[in-house]
Structure 1
Protein backbone atom coordinates (compact mmCIF):
# COMPACT_ATOMS: atom_id res chain seq x y z
CA UNK A 1 0.00 0.00 0.00
CA UNK A 2 1.36 3.42 -0.98
CA UNK A 3 1.90 6.35 1.37
CA UNK A 4 2.90 10.00 1.00
CA UNK A 5 6.48 8.79 1.44
CA UNK A 6 6.13 7.18 -1.95
CA UNK A 7 5.35 10.64 -3.34
CA UNK A 8 8.55 11.95 -1.75
CA UNK A 9 10.49 9.08 -3.29
CA UNK A 10 8.94 9.72 -6.71
CA UNK A 11 9.86 13.41 -6.56
CA UNK A 12 13.40 12.53 -5.45
CA UNK A 13 13.73 10.18 -8.44
CA UNK A 14 12.38 12.93 -10.72
CA UNK A 15 15.03 15.29 -9.33
CA UNK A 16 17.71 12.71 -10.12
CA UNK A 17 16.36 12.10 -13.64
CA UNK A 18 16.16 14.46 -16.63
CA UNK A 19 12.48 15.16 -15.82
CA UNK A 20 12.06 18.93 -15.60
CA UNK A 21 8.29 19.29 -15.19
CA UNK A 22 5.49 16.86 -14.46
CA UNK A 23 1.76 16.69 -13.93
CA UNK A 24 0.27 15.42 -10.65
CA UNK A 25 -1.41 12.65 -12.65
CA UNK A 26 2.04 11.18 -13.46
CA UNK A 27 2.71 10.81 -9.75
CA UNK A 28 -0.78 9.40 -9.13
CA UNK A 29 -0.29 6.69 -11.76
CA UNK A 30 3.09 5.69 -10.32
CA UNK A 31 2.30 5.67 -6.61
CA UNK A 32 -1.35 4.63 -6.90
CA UNK A 33 -2.73 7.24 -4.52
CA UNK A 34 -5.76 9.51 -5.04
CA UNK A 35 -5.10 12.67 -7.05
CA UNK A 36 -6.29 14.97 -4.23
CA UNK A 37 -3.79 13.44 -1.78
CA UNK A 38 -0.97 13.64 -4.33
CA UNK A 39 -1.78 17.26 -5.21
CA UNK A 40 -1.92 18.34 -1.55
CA UNK A 41 1.43 16.69 -0.85
CA UNK A 42 3.03 18.25 -3.93
CA UNK A 43 1.83 21.64 -2.67
CA UNK A 44 3.61 20.94 0.64
CA UNK A 45 6.78 20.20 -1.31
CA UNK A 46 6.45 23.61 -2.99
CA UNK A 47 6.30 25.17 0.48
CA UNK A 48 9.58 23.35 1.24
CA UNK A 49 11.13 24.84 -1.96
CA UNK A 50 11.62 21.42 -3.54
CA UNK A 51 9.09 22.14 -6.30
CA UNK A 52 7.54 25.12 -8.06
CA UNK A 53 3.93 25.20 -9.22
CA UNK A 54 2.94 26.59 -12.61
CA UNK A 55 -0.42 26.69 -14.33
CA UNK A 56 -0.73 25.52 -17.91
CA UNK A 57 -3.51 27.03 -20.03
CA UNK A 58 -5.03 24.69 -22.61
CA UNK A 59 -7.43 25.50 -25.40
CA UNK A 60 -10.74 23.65 -24.84
CA UNK A 61 -11.14 23.11 -28.61
CA UNK A 62 -7.78 21.57 -29.58
CA UNK A 63 -5.95 21.21 -26.23
CA UNK A 64 -2.95 23.20 -27.43
CA UNK A 65 -1.08 25.00 -24.66
CA UNK A 66 -1.31 28.78 -24.59
CA UNK A 67 1.95 30.26 -23.35
CA UNK A 68 1.82 33.82 -22.06
CA UNK A 69 4.60 36.17 -23.08
CA UNK A 70 7.09 36.97 -20.33
CA UNK A 71 5.46 39.19 -17.75
CA UNK A 72 2.00 38.74 -19.29
CA UNK A 73 -0.74 37.85 -16.81
CA UNK A 74 -4.24 36.58 -17.41
CA UNK A 75 -7.35 36.77 -15.28
CA UNK A 76 -10.38 34.53 -15.21
CA UNK A 77 -12.77 35.65 -17.93
CA UNK A 78 -10.04 36.98 -20.26
CA UNK A 79 -10.46 35.99 -23.90
CA UNK A 80 -7.46 34.10 -25.27
CA UNK A 81 -6.45 32.75 -28.67
CA UNK A 82 -4.58 29.46 -28.99
CA UNK A 83 -1.80 28.80 -31.55
CA UNK A 84 -4.43 27.18 -33.85
CA UNK A 85 -6.58 30.35 -33.79
CA UNK A 86 -9.38 29.20 -31.48
CA UNK A 87 -10.72 31.94 -29.22
CA UNK A 88 -11.81 30.92 -25.73
CA UNK A 89 -12.56 32.37 -22.31
CA UNK A 90 -10.07 31.60 -19.55
CA UNK A 91 -11.66 29.62 -16.73
CA UNK A 92 -10.71 26.99 -14.15
CA UNK A 93 -11.51 24.28 -16.69
CA UNK A 94 -8.64 25.54 -18.91
CA UNK A 95 -6.00 25.51 -16.15
CA UNK A 96 -3.81 22.50 -15.41
CA UNK A 97 -1.23 22.37 -12.62
CA UNK A 98 2.30 21.44 -13.57
CA UNK A 99 5.17 21.08 -11.12
CA UNK A 100 8.84 21.77 -11.71
CA UNK A 101 11.73 20.41 -9.66
CA UNK A 102 13.65 23.39 -8.27
CA UNK A 103 17.28 23.55 -9.38
CA UNK A 104 18.64 23.75 -5.81
CA UNK A 105 16.77 20.61 -4.79
CA UNK A 106 17.84 18.84 -7.99
CA UNK A 107 21.47 19.69 -7.28
CA UNK A 108 21.15 18.50 -3.67
CA UNK A 109 19.68 15.14 -4.77
CA UNK A 110 22.31 14.63 -7.47
CA UNK A 111 25.14 15.34 -5.02
CA UNK A 112 23.55 13.03 -2.46
CA UNK A 113 23.23 10.20 -5.00
CA UNK A 114 26.90 10.53 -6.03
CA UNK A 115 28.07 9.35 -2.62
CA UNK A 116 25.41 6.98 -1.26
CA UNK A 117 27.24 6.10 1.97
CA UNK A 118 28.21 9.63 2.91
CA UNK A 119 24.81 10.56 4.29
CA UNK A 120 24.18 12.41 7.52
CA UNK A 121 23.48 9.25 9.53
CA UNK A 122 26.70 7.49 8.48
CA UNK A 123 28.81 10.50 9.44
CA UNK A 124 27.41 10.36 12.96
CA UNK A 125 27.86 6.63 13.49
CA UNK A 126 30.28 5.67 16.22
CA UNK A 127 32.47 2.66 15.50
CA UNK A 128 31.93 -0.35 17.76
CA UNK A 129 34.72 -1.03 20.27
Structure 2
Protein backbone atom coordinates (compact mmCIF):
# COMPACT_ATOMS: atom_id res chain seq x y z
CA UNK A 1 0.00 0.00 0.00
CA UNK A 2 1.27 3.46 -0.87
CA UNK A 3 1.47 6.34 1.57
CA UNK A 4 -1.67 8.43 1.17
CA UNK A 5 -3.89 5.48 0.19
CA UNK A 6 -6.79 4.80 2.50
CA UNK A 7 -6.20 1.81 4.71
CA UNK A 8 -8.28 -1.13 3.69
CA UNK A 9 -10.88 -2.20 6.18
CA UNK A 10 -10.26 -5.49 7.97
CA UNK A 11 -12.65 -8.35 8.62
CA UNK A 12 -13.08 -7.39 12.27
CA UNK A 13 -14.13 -3.82 11.45
CA UNK A 14 -16.46 -5.06 8.70
CA UNK A 15 -18.06 -7.48 11.15
CA UNK A 16 -18.54 -4.76 13.78
CA UNK A 17 -20.17 -2.45 11.23
CA UNK A 18 -22.30 -5.28 9.83
CA UNK A 19 -23.57 -6.13 13.32
CA UNK A 20 -24.72 -2.54 13.91
CA UNK A 21 -26.37 -2.38 10.49
CA UNK A 22 -28.17 -5.67 11.13
CA UNK A 23 -29.50 -4.28 14.42
CA UNK A 24 -30.70 -1.19 12.59
CA UNK A 25 -32.30 -3.33 9.86
CA UNK A 26 -34.11 -5.40 12.50
CA UNK A 27 -35.43 -2.24 14.18
CA UNK A 28 -37.90 0.35 12.92
CA UNK A 29 -35.11 2.79 12.05
CA UNK A 30 -35.32 3.76 8.39
CA UNK A 31 -32.18 5.88 7.95
CA UNK A 32 -28.93 6.42 9.79
CA UNK A 33 -25.88 8.65 9.57
CA UNK A 34 -22.36 7.28 9.17
CA UNK A 35 -21.40 9.25 12.29
CA UNK A 36 -23.68 6.96 14.33
CA UNK A 37 -21.88 3.84 13.10
CA UNK A 38 -18.52 5.47 13.77
CA UNK A 39 -19.48 6.39 17.34
CA UNK A 40 -20.92 2.98 18.18
CA UNK A 41 -18.03 0.98 16.71
CA UNK A 42 -15.19 3.43 17.51
CA UNK A 43 -14.04 3.08 13.89
CA UNK A 44 -12.92 6.20 12.03
CA UNK A 45 -15.60 8.01 10.07
CA UNK A 46 -13.59 7.74 6.84
CA UNK A 47 -13.31 3.97 7.21
CA UNK A 48 -16.99 3.60 8.07
CA UNK A 49 -18.07 5.76 5.14
CA UNK A 50 -15.85 3.82 2.72
CA UNK A 51 -17.37 0.51 3.86
CA UNK A 52 -20.94 1.84 3.79
CA UNK A 53 -20.35 2.82 0.16
CA UNK A 54 -19.40 -0.82 -0.52
CA UNK A 55 -22.76 -1.83 0.98
CA UNK A 56 -24.46 0.66 -1.34
CA UNK A 57 -22.68 -1.00 -4.26
CA UNK A 58 -23.88 -4.47 -3.20
CA UNK A 59 -27.46 -3.24 -2.74
CA UNK A 60 -27.79 -3.59 1.05
CA UNK A 61 -28.04 0.17 1.54
CA UNK A 62 -29.12 3.26 -0.38
CA UNK A 63 -27.14 6.50 -0.18
CA UNK A 64 -29.20 9.66 0.10
CA UNK A 65 -28.17 13.25 0.62
CA UNK A 66 -29.99 15.49 3.07
CA UNK A 67 -30.16 19.24 2.78
CA UNK A 68 -30.58 20.90 6.16
CA UNK A 69 -31.68 24.41 6.91
CA UNK A 70 -28.65 26.47 7.97
CA UNK A 71 -30.67 28.37 10.59
CA UNK A 72 -29.31 27.00 13.87
CA UNK A 73 -32.69 27.18 15.59
CA UNK A 74 -34.46 25.44 12.70
CA UNK A 75 -31.97 22.84 11.37
CA UNK A 76 -34.88 21.07 9.59
CA UNK A 77 -34.18 18.52 6.89
CA UNK A 78 -35.49 20.35 3.84
CA UNK A 79 -35.18 17.45 1.42
CA UNK A 80 -33.48 14.13 0.69
CA UNK A 81 -32.24 13.07 -2.71
CA UNK A 82 -30.10 10.36 -4.27
CA UNK A 83 -28.85 12.78 -6.95
CA UNK A 84 -26.76 15.70 -5.74
CA UNK A 85 -26.68 17.28 -9.20
CA UNK A 86 -30.42 17.99 -8.85
CA UNK A 87 -29.86 20.39 -5.96
CA UNK A 88 -26.26 21.68 -5.81
CA UNK A 89 -26.10 25.37 -6.63
CA UNK A 90 -29.88 25.73 -6.64
CA UNK A 91 -31.98 27.91 -4.39
CA UNK A 92 -34.58 26.19 -2.22
CA UNK A 93 -36.81 27.32 0.61
CA UNK A 94 -37.12 25.76 4.05
CA UNK A 95 -40.77 24.87 4.53
CA UNK A 96 -40.39 25.25 8.28
CA UNK A 97 -38.81 28.69 8.71
CA UNK A 98 -39.25 29.89 5.10
CA UNK A 99 -35.53 30.75 4.89
CA UNK A 100 -34.12 30.73 1.33
CA UNK A 101 -31.04 28.59 0.90
CA UNK A 102 -28.50 28.46 -1.90
CA UNK A 103 -27.38 24.80 -1.64
CA UNK A 104 -23.65 24.37 -0.98
CA UNK A 105 -21.57 21.44 0.26
CA UNK A 106 -21.88 22.55 3.89
CA UNK A 107 -25.68 22.11 3.74
CA UNK A 108 -25.57 18.54 2.41
CA UNK A 109 -25.13 15.46 4.60
CA UNK A 110 -24.94 11.76 3.68
CA UNK A 111 -27.58 9.48 5.13
CA UNK A 112 -27.96 5.76 4.51
CA UNK A 113 -31.21 3.89 4.15
CA UNK A 114 -31.71 0.14 4.57
CA UNK A 115 -32.82 -1.64 1.41
CA UNK A 116 -36.29 -3.17 1.99
CA UNK A 117 -35.22 -6.62 0.69
CA UNK A 118 -32.16 -6.59 2.95
CA UNK A 119 -34.32 -5.57 5.93
CA UNK A 120 -36.75 -8.43 5.23
CA UNK A 121 -33.87 -10.90 4.90
CA UNK A 122 -32.40 -9.80 8.26
CA UNK A 123 -35.77 -10.02 10.01
CA UNK A 124 -36.43 -13.52 8.65
CA UNK A 125 -32.96 -14.74 9.59
CA UNK A 126 -33.32 -13.34 13.14
CA UNK A 127 -36.68 -15.13 13.50
CA UNK A 128 -35.07 -18.37 12.34
CA UNK A 129 -32.31 -17.91 14.91
CA UNK A 130 -34.88 -17.30 17.65
CA UNK A 131 -36.87 -20.36 16.60
CA UNK A 132 -33.71 -22.49 16.55
CA UNK A 133 -32.85 -21.32 20.07
CA UNK A 134 -36.38 -22.09 21.28
CA UNK A 135 -36.21 -25.61 19.82
CA UNK A 136 -32.78 -26.19 21.33
CA UNK A 137 -34.05 -25.37 24.81
Same fold (TM > 0.5):
yes
The 5 Å alignment of 1:42-57 reads 42-57=52-67
The 5 Å alignment of 1:87-126 reads 87-116=100-129
Q: Could you state the TM-score of these two structures normalised by the residue count of structure 1?
A: 0.80
Instruction: Confirm whether residue 76 of structure 1 aligns to residue 88 of structure 2.
Output: yes
Q: Could you state the TM-score of these two structures normalised by the residue count of structure 2?
A: 0.76
Q: Decide whether aligned partners of structure 1 residues 117 and 67 sit closer, same or farther in structure 2, where only a CA change above 3 A counts.
A: closer
Distance, in Å, in 2 between the alignment partners of 1:103 and 1:28 is 23
By percentage of residues, which structure has more helix? 2
In structure 1, what is the equivalent of residue 29 of structure 2?
Answer: 19
Long gaps (5+) in structure 1: 120-129
Distance, in Å, in 1 between the alignment partners of 2:25 and 2:19 is 10
Distance, in Å, in 2 between the alignment partners of 1:41 and 1:103 is 19
Structure of greater Rg: 1
Is contact 2:65–2:80 with CA below 8 Å preserved after alignment? no
Distance, in Å, in 2 between the alignment partners of 1:21 and 1:27 is 12
Aligned residues: 115
CA shift digits 1:45-80 (9 cap, x unpaired): 1111111111110111232111279xxx73321111
